[in-house]
Structure 1
Amino acid sequence: MTQIILGVDVGGTTTKIVGYRQNKTLIGTLQVCATDQMTSLYGAIGNFLKTYQCSLKEVVKIVLTGVGASFIEDNIYDIPTYKVKEFEAIGLGGTKLVKMEEALVVSMGTGTAFVRVQNGKVNHIGGSGVGGGTLMGLASLLIDKRDSHVVATMGEKGNLGKVDLVIQDITHELIPSLPQDATASNFGLVKSGVQEEDIALGLMNMIFQTVGMMAVFACQNTPIKHIIIIGSLATLSSAQSILNGIGQIHGIQFIIPEHAVFATAIGAVTPYL
C-alpha cells in the first residue's frame, strides 16, 4: 500500500494542501475555501483524497502550518499530525521549489512576509501590510472589483502612462542608476478620464513595485541575489514582468516557481519526507 504524507497550509478562509508519496514524489495540489478554518481543513483533506483517488488508510502523516493550524490540538482522523511554524515552512517551501539553498523567500498573501534562507538557517526578517488585502481593498474602492485575477486581467488592457509619474516626466537629466521610465510616483499622474483598466494596472504596479523594492532592500549587505516569490498573488499575470523590471535595475533575479501558491504547504511537509 502506498504511504502518503499530506502538507496543509491552513489560512484564514483558504486552505492549500499537497500530497507526497514517501519516495518524495508529488501526488498533487489543491485548495479549498470555506467560512472557517476547521471546515476548510477537513474539506481540503476530503477533496484531495477524492480528486487524486487516494485512501485515508494510505495517509501516514499530516503536517500543518499557517494561522489556522493553531486550532488543531489532536491528531486528525487518528493519523499522526505535526506542525511546522509558518515562517519556516515559507522558507523551506520556496527554496525547495527552485532547488536553491540560499535565497530570500517572499510570501505574498493578504500581507507579505520576508524570509531569508542562508547558511542552513531560516529567518523571518520582517513583513509588510502591503499585499493581496491591499490590492482587494483599493480595487473595491476604486473600480468596484473584488477578485485579484479580474483586476489583473483588466490591467492587461491598461495604460500605465495615464496613472504613474515616471522619471522623464520630472527631469530631462539622466540619472545613472535609473532608467527614464522608472516610476517616480505611483498614481502621481492620474487625471480625469482615466479608465478602470488603467487604475487596475496602476494598482498591480504599485503593489508589486512596493514589495519588490522591500525585497531588494532585504538583500542589501548580503550575498543573496535570488528572490523567490510565492503565495496567491504570485500567479497574477503581470507579477513577473513588473518584478523583472526591478530586478534588472538592481541586479537581482526574481523567481516565481511552479506551485508558488502551494509553497508553504510544501515547506511544511519537507522536513518529514
Structure 2
Amino acid sequence: MGIVLGIDIGSSATKIVAMDESKTILNSLKVSASDPVTAMYGAVGKILCEERMQIADVEAVMLTGMGASYVEGDVYGLPTTKVTEFDALGTGGLYLTGLEETVVGSIGTGTVFVHAGPDGIQHIGGSAVGGGTLVGLSSRLFGIRDVEVIADMAEQGNLKNVDWGIAELSRDQMETLPDYATSSNLGKMKSTATDEDVALGLMNMIFQTAGTLAVFACRNVNLKKAVIGGSTATLNQARIMLGQVGELYDIDFIIPKQAAYMTAIGAAFLFQSK
C-alpha cells in the first residue's frame, strides 16, 4: 500500500500520522505516556487499528522528536529512519501551507524556529519558554497540569489585573507601539487577581515571547510569514495573542488546521517525496 508512518516523539505526547504514496494524510492521532517508547508503540498500534491496516501494509516508519533517541532498531521490524526535528518541522510547515519559503516555528514544550525554503531547512533559534512553561507554572500555582483546563480558566481572566500596559506607565504615546501593547508581563499582579487572571497572564507571556521571537526570525531572513505548529499553538489564546503580535510588527502568523501534527507530517513527507 505504500503507507508511511510519521511519528513525532515528544516529552509529553507522541503524535503519529499515516500518509499514503499520493502524500495524502489518512489519519493522525496523539498518545500520551510517561515512557516515550511505550507511547510510540501504542501510537502505532492505535493508528493501525483505526485504519484497519496490518503491519505488512506499512512501507516505512519515520521517527523524529527528542524522544526518538530512545528508540533503537526498526519499529515492529519495519524499515525505520530517524530525521532531525528541524527538517521535519520545516518540511511539515511547507506541506501544510503550500508555501515555497517561510519561517516555521513550533510551540511545544519549548519553542523552536527554522527557515524553510528552496535551499533547505536551517535552524534559526528558539527558547525554553513554551507549553512546558505553562504546564509547570500552572502546576505550581493552581495544581493543574491539563492544558485544556488551563485554557478554559484563562477564558475568564482579565489581563488588566496582572499585566502592565504601555499606556499605564507612560503619558507619551510611543510612535511604533499602540496603547494596548504590553509593557510588563505579570508585572502588575494585583492582590485581587484571580487564578483565571493569572492563567491568562501566563499564556500572554508565553505567546508574546514566542511571537516576538518569530518576528526576529522573520526579519533575520527578510520574510513576512511565520507558520506556527505544536499542540500549544492550537489553543484559542495562541491565535489571538500571536495575531496581536503580528499586527504590531506586520507579520502574518499562520496556524494550520493540523498544526499539532506538523512535525510528524513533515517526517512522513520526507520519505514519500523521495
Distance 1:218 1:3 in 2: 37
1:25 corresponding residue in structure 2: 24
1:191 aligns with 2:184: no
Are 2:236 and 1:242 aligned? no
What's the counterpart of residue 79 of structure 2?
A: 80
Aligned to 1:97: 96
On the 8 A contact 1:153/1:237 being kept in 2, the answer is no
2:260 and 2:163 map into 1 onto residues whose CA distance is 29
The residue aligned with 2:250 is 251
Aligned to 1:114: 113
Determine helix, strand or coil for the equivalent of 1:238.
Answer: helix
Letter in 1 for 2:269: T
Q: Which deviations, in whole Å up to 9, do the C-alpha atoms of 1:113-163 show, x marking residues without a partner?
A: 111113332011112110111111111222222111111111111111111
CA distance in structure 2 between the aligned counterparts of 1:188 and 1:76, rounded to whole angstroms: 49
Deviation at 1:73, TM superposition (A): 3.0
Question: What is the TM-score of this pair, normalised by structure 2?
Answer: 0.95
Determine the C-alpha separation between the residues in 2 that align with 1:72 and 1:147. Answer: 27
Residue in 1 aligned with 2:48? 49
* Structure 2 residue 153 is matched with structure 1 residue 150: no
1:196-240, CA deviations, whole angstroms, 9 ceiling, x for partnerless residues? 111111011010001110111122243211111111101112111
Structure 2: where are the runs of 5+ without partners?
A: none
Contact 1:143 1:199 in 2 (8 A): no
Taking structure 1 as the reference length, what is the TM-score of the superposition? 0.96
* Separation in 2, partners of 1:194, 1:239: 22
Q: Which runs of 4+ in 1 moved over 6 A?
A: none
Q: How many residues align?
A: 272
Quick one: percent identity of the two aligned structures? 47
Report the counterpart of residue 228 of structure 1 in structure 2: 227
Greater Cα offset, 235-244 or 136-145 = 136-145
Provide Cα deviations, 1:54-87, integer angstroms capped at 9, x if missing partner: 2221111111111222233322222211121111
Task: Tell me, in whole angstroms, the C-alpha distance in 2 between the residues paired with 1:81 and 1:130.
Answer: 31
Residues 101, 120 of structure 1: 8 Å contact kept: no
- Paired with 1:38 and 1:221, the residues of 2 have a C-alpha distance of 37
Q: Partners of 1:144 and 1:61 in 2: how far apart? A: 41
Change (3 A) 1:217 1:13: closer
Note closer, same or farther for the CA distance 1:205–1:120 as it changes in structure 2 (3 Å cut): same
Check whether the contact 2:88–2:270 (CA below 8 A) recurs between aligned residues.
Answer: no
Are 2:53 and 1:59 equivalent residues in the alignment? no
- Superimposed CA distance per residue, residues 74-109 of structure 1 (whole angstroms, 9 cap, x where no aligned partner): 222222111211111111111211111211111111
* Structure 1: gaps of 5 or more residues: none
Letter matched to residue 87 of structure 1: F
Query: Structure 1 residues 181 and 103, CA, compared in 2 at 3 Å: closer, same or farther?
Result: same
